[in-house]
Amino acid sequence: MKKLIPIGCDHAGFDLKKVVIKHLESKGFEFKDFGCHSEESIDYPDFGHPVADMIENTEDIMGILICGSGNGINMTANKHQGVRSALCWKKEIAELARAHNNANIVTLPARFLTDSEALEIVDAFFETSFEGGRHGRRVEKIACS
C-alpha cells in the first residue's frame, strides 16, 4: 500500500511543489494535491486549510505545505487542532520536529531553499520517527482544548 500525502502551496511554492512530488513519487508515495496549480497569485490559506483539514481528520498521515517564506501557510495550518506544522529550513530542524514534536506537516520556505535542500528536508521529515517518552507528554500539552 502506498502512503498518501496531502500537499498544498501558494504561487511562490508552485515550482518547488512539483519537484517534491516528483521526488517522493519515485519513492512510492501518492499525493492528494490541494493546489495551487500555477504561479498566478493566490491566497495561501485557501490551500493550507484543506491540507490541515485532511491531517486533522485522518489518522497516521503527514502532509507538506509550501509558500514563499513558509510562515503564512504554516500559521494557517497550526490553527487546526491536532495539527503540528513545522516550518523547516534545515534537515536537522525537520528531524527534531518529528522526533521531539511529532510534527505531522512539514512546511517549506520556497524562496529560501534550493531544490536539493528542500528534498533533504522532506526526506528527513518522512524518515524520522517520533521518540515519544518525555516528548509525548509535552506534545499532549500543545492543544488548547
Q: Which residues are catalytic?
A: 67, 100
7 phi and psi angles, rounded to 5 deg: -140, 145
Amino acid, single-letter form, for residue 10: D
Q: Evaluate whether 100 touches 86 at the Cβ level (below 8 Å).
A: no
What is the residue whose three cell numbers read 494557517? 76
- For residue 106, which phi and psi values (nearest 5 degrees)? -100, 130
CA 115 to chain centre: 15
